[in-house]
């Protein structure tokens, strides 16, 4: 299942705000529409927003005004800046924009029309690479999964969050396709309900056994011995292994440690921010108060109540058993073992 598809200057996105009650595809024909789709979470998940942003740069570049090369690069800067301003936490967004921009710069001796094609081609390359990366994450992670495992996950690190397969969910897909009897426990993931709306939907489509729980039930099931391991995705991993992921991940990690349950992070190397030494400097997105006070437009809290809505938290690396990447599984000490993957 692919949440995004690019053809002839149009980026088609499955509208993830509508799932699972409605399956709708949105067309983005301008880079501004791509930026809005990322900001409004029509497309979400670190790898998916990265590749969408790369396509956004390509779409913007294609419609750049005819002019000199200097004017073209000025416009390209503006397009990249708009896309960079959409969501602050997932490093894949910045990584992807920087990669296509660098590709354009490396080819600045070519004609503007050639540079436009090169940008579009680079975005397509990143799309294909992401699919292969996720398959490799699934292959490596599968080694950690035994028959009859029950795996808890938080948020959606599935096909919908990437260009296909997912990161955490790729591990589950691989184990299931190998004939291992596994069950996934999906945290609903308040306030945006990525677990209930997206992970549960995605796994059900694939016939992978999945049980939905409210976020506050995870500790209960861990204490009862019902969870064998936790696998989550990541939005940004610091050099020391500290990991930003969907709000609530930290609580799950602490509960897992208390109950001696392995806690794994599955993410591509592009999610590691090699410029950030610890998770303390990872910017945390604050989203709208309505995500907390309303569910599907219906108020669930008193009008005017004070609200805090950080979209992510940072799990210190001491809670993380291992980080599963396309290049293999990194164990502590992460400073050394993640660096080897650069």
Which residues lie near ligand MRU (CB under 6 A)? 44-47, 90, 155, 157, 161-162, 166-167, 194, 233-235, 245-246, 311
- Closer residue to ligand MRU in complex, CB, 61/282: 282
- Closer residue to ligand MRU in complex, CB, 49/64: 49
Q: How far is the CB of 155 from ligand MRU (least distance, A)?
A: 4
Closest-CA residue to 96 (of 126, 132, 74, 131): 126
Among this protein's residues, is 235 annotated catalytic?
Answer: yes
- 245 annotated to a ligand binding site: yes
Is the separation of the CB atoms in 141 and 151 below 8 Å?
no
DSSP 319: G
Distance CA 282, CA 279 (A): 5
Q: How far is the CB of 51 from ligand MRU (least distance, A)?
A: 11
- Closer residue to ligand MRU in complex, CB, 62/292: 292
Q: How far is the CB of 243 from ligand MRU (least distance, A)?
A: 10
Q: How far is the CB of 323 from ligand MRU (least distance, A)?
A: 13
Catalytic residue, candidates 235, 242, 273, 313: 235
- 147 annotated to a ligand binding site: no
- 135 annotated to a ligand binding site: no
- 226 annotated to a ligand binding site: no
- Closer residue to ligand MRU in complex, CB, 22/66: 22
Is the separation of the CB atoms in 46 and 161 below 8 Å?
yes
Distance CA 305, CA 299 (A): 11
Distance CA 46, CA 28 (A): 19
Q: Using CB atoms, what's the residue nearest to ligand MRU? A: 233
Q: How far is the CB of 32 from ligand MRU (least distance, A)?
A: 20
Is the separation of the CB atoms in 226 and 192 below 8 Å?
no
Is the separation of the CB atoms in 178 and 145 below 8 Å?
no
Q: Residue 294 is encoded by which pair of tokens?
A: 């309303």
Q: Is 275 helix (H, G, I), strand (E, B) or coil?
A: coil
- 16 annotated to a ligand binding site: no
- Closer residue to ligand MRU in complex, CB, 110/287: 287
Q: How far is the CB of 281 from ligand MRU (least distance, A)?
A: 18
- 87 annotated to a ligand binding site: yes
- Closer residue to ligand MRU in complex, CB, 44/116: 44
Peptide bond into 156 cis (omega under 30): no
Across-strand partners of 315? 243
Distance CA 332, CA 334 (A): 4
Task: Please list, in sequence order, all residues whose beta carbon lies within 8 angstroms of the beta carbon of residue 229, skipping any fewer than 6 positions away.
Answer: 144, 145, 149, 151, 152, 261, 262, 263, 264
Closest-CA residue to 323 (of 281, 262, 280): 262
Across-strand partners of 232? 265
Task: Please list, in sequence order, all residues whose beta carbon lies within 8 angstroms of the beta carbon of residue 81, skipping any fewer than 6 positions away.
Answer: none
Binding-site residue numbers are 44-46, 87, 194, 245-246
Binding-site residue numbers for substrate are 44-46, 87, 194, 245-246
Residues serving a catalytic function are 235
């Amino acid at each position: 299942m692919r949440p995004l598809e690019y053809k002839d200057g149009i980026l088609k996105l499955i509208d993830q705000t509508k799932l699972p009650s409605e399956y709708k595809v949105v067309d983005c024909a301008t880079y501004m529409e791509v930026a809005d789709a990322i900001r409004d979470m029509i497309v979400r998940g670190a790898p998916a927003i990265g590749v969408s942003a790369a396509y956004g740069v390509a779409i913007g570049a294609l419609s750049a005004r005819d002019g000199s090369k200097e004017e073209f690069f000025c416009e390209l800067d503006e397009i990249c800046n708009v896309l960079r301003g959409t969501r602050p936490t997932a490093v894949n967004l910045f990584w992807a924009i920087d990669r296509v921009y660098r590709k354009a710069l490396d080819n600045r001796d070519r004609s503007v029309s050639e540079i436009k094609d090169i940008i579009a081609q680079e975005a397509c390359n990143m799309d294909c690479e992401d699919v292969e990366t996720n398959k490799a994450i699934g292959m490596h992670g599968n080694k950690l999964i035994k028959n009859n495992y029950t795996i808890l996950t938080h948020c959606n690190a599935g096909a919908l969050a990437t260009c296909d397969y997912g990161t955490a969910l790729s591990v589950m897909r691989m184990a299931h396709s190998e004939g291992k009897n596994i069950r996934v426990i999906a945290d609903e993931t308040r306030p945006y309900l990525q677990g209930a709306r997206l992970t549960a939907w995605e796994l059900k489509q694939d016939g992978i056994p999945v049980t939905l729980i409210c976020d506050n039930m995870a500790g209960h099931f861990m204490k009862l011995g019902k969870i064998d391991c936790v696998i989550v995705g990541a939005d940004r991993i610091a050099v020391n292994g500290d990991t930003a992921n969907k709000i609530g991940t930290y609580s799950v990690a602490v509960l897992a440690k208390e109950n001696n349950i392995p806690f794994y992070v599955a993410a591509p190397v592009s999610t590691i921010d090699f410029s950030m030494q610890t998770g303390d400097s990872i910017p945390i997105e604050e989203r709208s108060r309505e995500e907390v006070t309303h569910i599907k437009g219906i108020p669930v809290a008193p009008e005017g109540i004070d609200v805090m809505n950080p979209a992510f938290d940072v799990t210190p690396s001491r809670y993380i058993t291992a980080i599963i990447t396309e290049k293999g599984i990194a164990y502590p000490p992460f400073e050394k073992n993640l660096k080897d993957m650069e």
